[in-house]
Amino acid sequence: MASEVVVVHANETPPDSWDAAVFLAGPLPRSAEVPAWNREAVALLRERWRQEGRLVVFTPELREGVLADYTGQVEWEHRWLHAADVILFWVPRDLDTMPAFTTNIEWGAWYDSGKVVFGAPVGAPKNEYLLHLAASSGVPVADTLGGAADAALAMVDAGSRRAGGERSVPLLVWRTDSFQSWYGAQRAAGNRLVGARVEWTFRVGPGREAVHYWAAQVQVHVAAEDRVKSNEVVISRPDTAQVLLYRPGPSPEATIVVLVREFRSPASTADGFVHELPGGSGDEPDVAVQALEEVREETGLRLGIDRMRFVGARQVAATVSAHRSHLFAAELTADELDWLRAHQGTANGVGETERTWVEITTFGDMLDGALVDWSTLGMVARALNRPNAA
């Protein structure tokens, strides 16, 4: 695959596929006498794109002439700002020739999106607040146009080929395992992504560079029904691993089950806490190892991997989130259960963001009470119904 750069000017139609897309945002001259920085930015990106594949550069400049009024291209800009992998802001503000009032609004809309670069020459006036927002959101900052171009290309790296409706999913979401898992399932069912609009991302890490949650309004062609479904939002996060710790009783209802109690903001229970199986997600690629780590973190109990029985993997709430839970079960010894009982008053968890408390209950009490959600009940019921399943 050859290296290629395609420049798309205001109101033009981009190619049907690309590997990376950069949108140039910033003040435009209203007079032919004022130098147009966009052309220099295009030249820099063209010169420095060394990857195999197609880079598309969106520039709100007209191909011919000088832009006199934004109103004729607002929808074009909004559509491709959302689709672009990186928005390169360059703000060489001049209060007489390029005041950048519209740029201020665009920056306010995108600075915390996780896909922006901010650049401005040293001494450009009235950029202090924009620079403050960049610093607070971990945005790469440059004081030369070349530096801003380099930062944008570093964010896309080699990119990833997308075609048709796939182009509307920026790389920061496209590259997540959670998106690829959802999209892979849709493609396997014969469905096709017609378009999408990423509405929100929740990012974590030292520079908030890792997407943990994302939400996108999608338009999906449903092959089995030959129609396009376009009125829903897909929300997802990394898959989780849950563990049923239990001690068998004379009946399923009498089986002893270990839960953890934790304050979670979405909880709408009577006590404001969630009551669930130990579990969660992390960087460990082996879900069984991740499950063991969650048990240790949330209950204090250390188990060997040979104690873990894989029950299965399913979505937790298919109308709410696309992620799946990988369920394991481990039968406790009498000594382990006694140890957990003795430590019910000990707080567990990791750091200030997680505090969990062990709870000992029975499956019957879980069925009769209202503190455990339907998904947890279903996981426990499935594991206890087929205790010897692989």
pLDDT digits (tens, 9 = 90+) for 172-210: 999 999 999 999 999 999 999 999 999 999 999 888 989
Residue 263 pairs in a beta bridge with: 273
Q: What is the pLDDT of residues 178-187, one digit of tens each?
A: 999 999 999 9
User: For 239-252, how does the pLDDT look when each residue is reduced to its tens digit (9 = 90+)?
Assistant: 999 999 999 999 99
Q: How confident is the model at residue 353 (pLDDT cuts 50, 70, 90)?
A: confident
Q: Which residue has better confidence, 96 or 359?
A: 359
- Topology alike, domains 3-156 and 240-385: no
Give the CATH fold of the 3-156 domain.
Answer: Rossmann fold (3.40.50)
- What does the pLDDT read at residue 170? 98
Radius of gyration of the chain (CA): 26
Select the CATH number that applies to the domain covering 240-385 from these four: 3.90.79.10, 3.40.50.300, 3.30.230.10, 3.30.870.10: 3.90.79.10
What per-residue confidence (pLDDT) applies to 177? 96
pLDDT band, residue 68 (cuts 50/70/90): low
Residue 121 CA, distance from chain mean position? 32
| H helix intervals, the chain | 37-48, 74-83, 101-110, 128-136, 145-156, 171-174, 177-188, 287-299, 334-342, 363-368, 374-385
Does residue 48 register a pLDDT over 90?
yes
**Rounded average pLDDT over 364-378:** 95
* Residue 172: partners with Cβ closer than 8 Å, 6 or more residues away: 85, 114, 115, 201, 211
How does the average pLDDT of the chain come out, rounded? 94
Domain regions of the chain by residue span: 3-156, 176-236, 240-385
Tell me the pLDDT tens digit for each residue of 289-340. Answer: 999 999 999 999 999 999 999 999 999 999 999 999 999 999 999 999 999 9
- The model carries a pTM of 0.93
DSSP code at position 70: G
